[in-house]
Amino acid sequence: MNGVILILAHGSDTGAAMLAAALRGLIGQREGGNVSARSTSGAATAGKRAGLTLSDTPDVWLLRPEVLCTARWSHTVDEFGKTTSRLALPGKPALDEGQIKAVLNRLHDLPAPQFAKANPKDRDYAASEFHALIISWLAACEKRNHKVTNSVRLNPCLHPTLPIMHWKAMAARYCIPLAKFSLAHPLTTDGAWDASVLIAGKHTSGLLAEQYGTVCRAICKELGFELLEFRFQRQWHQFVLVDVSHLPTLNGHTDTAAVAQCLYENAFRQADQTTSEGVAR
């Protein structure tokens, strides 16, 4: 197995399923490092510069938390004190830490149905241990320079946090119209939104991408996020920003394609850098 791109998502996450299909299609379109499809040209260029062939392309695994909790885990410590992990899932080949090329984390909790009938004390203990294991594993993946989108590094939560006041303050600084709010009631809209700007690495999509794409990318950079969806609601004569999420819905083809390209390029980032350095020398 040449490697794996992991998408961690819940069973109800239809956007993740669409993304996995788009990413497999993106990989499958390449023949000898060349892709004819115009929508995948950015990702194809990354692979081509890295000198990749069709046999080098990774698999795409869409993993649900219910499947993760059935995995068998093993940890090895070498003579230098370096720890590596291996993950064995039912029906799949064992996955070494070094085979992971990129990860997209769309999880917001970790259900563990196998502990459902345990007494509450044991169930809570097992759930906390499983939670710690997944966070440690994701952090280790990033430490090995495998790109983890929605990183948990230095974060005790399963997903990154983005306080409302942080993105509102940043949006105000960049002159993006905001929905009216107060400190007592920061969210004053009904949660509905009519348009968006999606930032996925160097890729931008969404109805308002032309108008707000540049400033949204700058906000992403300052907030330390690679993937964010800026959600706007139409109020009278203009769109106002009502929400920012690290979990884009991925309902549209262009949004899905942008995230697929981002993941593909992340998977081959190290190979691309190594090749570029060799050419420079």
Q: Concatenate the DSSP letters of all residues of 211-271 into one string.
A: HHHHHHHHHHHHHT-SEEEEEEEEETTEEEEEEEESS----SHHHHHHHHHHHHHHHTHHH
Q: pLDDT at residue 49 above 50?
A: no
How far is it, in rounded angstroms, from Cα 260 to Cα 240?
28
Out of 17-21, 50-54, 233-237, the most confident range is 17-21
Q: pLDDT at residue 158 above 80?
A: no
Q: What is the pTM of this model?
A: 0.82
DSSP summary character for residue 98? G
Average of per-residue pLDDT across 223-241: 92
Q: For 1-10, 88-97, 154-163, 191-200, which range has the lowest pLDDT when averaged over its residues?
A: 154-163
User: Residue 60: enclosing H or E segment and its boundaries?
Assistant: strand 59-63
Residue 169, classified by CB atoms within 10 Å of its CB into exposed (0-12), middle (13-18) or buried (19+), is exposed
Q: Would you tell me the crossing angle of helices 253-267 and 41-49 to the nearest 10 degrees?
A: 10
Average of per-residue pLDDT across 246-267: 92
Q: Regarding beta strands 95-96 and 100-105, do their DSSP bridges make them parallel or antiparallel, or are they unpaired?
A: unpaired
pLDDT band at 109 (very low <50, low <70, confident <90, very high): confident
pLDDT at residue 145 in the model = 62
pLDDT at residue 153 in the model = 62
Chain centre to alpha carbon of residue 278? 29
Give the model confidence (pLDDT) of 162-183 as tens digits. Answer: 888 899 999 999 999 998 765 5
Percent of the chain clearing pLDDT 70 (strictly above): 79
